[in-house]
């Protein structure tokens, strides 16, 4: 029942990001897919992961594993990243058509602007300390009951 409500809301209230996610899904149709807490997960070869409505695209091997391999296994980091991305799907449910503006754009800028990347590295700031990412961690943990990325420093 929860999955049906989740899908209905993602296809109505979250329609913009879900349509965009569907097109990205079609581009990666030959990749491995599975369901996780109602979302359609696609493993892709990109270094980063992204959530677009009910569609989540996760990296097969988190690029930051080498930095954290003394503390975490690849499987644990991948699972924590999945919980985090699940949190973004819940943000989509909450914010609906405002998700891309209030979560997507700030998150993308935080993750990809070279000046912000340098600042995070120089000051040892966690990517997951930014409000969009911190909230996604919290929501993902609440929904799944599993650990998310916390404040891991991945840069």
pLDDT value at residue 1: 62
Burial class (CB in 10 A: 0-12, 13-18, 19+), 124: exposed
pLDDT at 3 over 90: no
Give pLDDT tens digits for 110-150: 999 999 999 999 999 999 999 999 999 999 999 999 999 99
**Beta-bridge mates of residue 57:** 42, 50
pTM of the predicted model as reported, rounded to 2 decimal places = 0.95
Give pLDDT tens digits for 18-52: 999 999 999 999 999 999 999 999 999 998 999 99
- Asked if 127 and 59 count as a contact pair (C-beta separation under 8 A), the reply is no
- Asked if 136 and 104 count as a contact pair (C-beta separation under 8 A), the reply is no
Residues 6+ apart with CB under 8 A from 142: none
SS3 57: strand
More confidently predicted of 2 and 10: 10
Structural domain boundaries in the chain: 2-144
pLDDT value at residue 36: 96
């Amino acid at each position: 029942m929860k999955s049906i409500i989740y899908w209905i809301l993602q296809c109505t209230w979250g329609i913009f990001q879900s349509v965009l996610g569907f097109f990205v899904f079609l581009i990666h149709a030959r990749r491995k897919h599975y369901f996780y807490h109602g979302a359609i997960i696609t493993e892709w070869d990109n270094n980063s992961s992204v959530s677009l409505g009910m569609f989540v695209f996760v990296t097969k091997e988190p690029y930051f594993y080498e930095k954290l391999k003394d503390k975490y296994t690849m499987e644990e980091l991948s699972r924590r990243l999945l919980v985090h991305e699940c949190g973004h799907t819940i943000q989509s449910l909450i914010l609906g058509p405002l998700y891309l503006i209030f979560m997507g754009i700030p998150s993308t800028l935080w993750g990809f602007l070279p000046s912000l990347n340098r600042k995070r590295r120089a000051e040892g700031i966690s990517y997951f300390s930014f409000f969009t990412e911190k909230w996604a961690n919290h929501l993902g943990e609440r929904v799944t009951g599993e650990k998310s990325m916390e404040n891991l420093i991945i840069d």
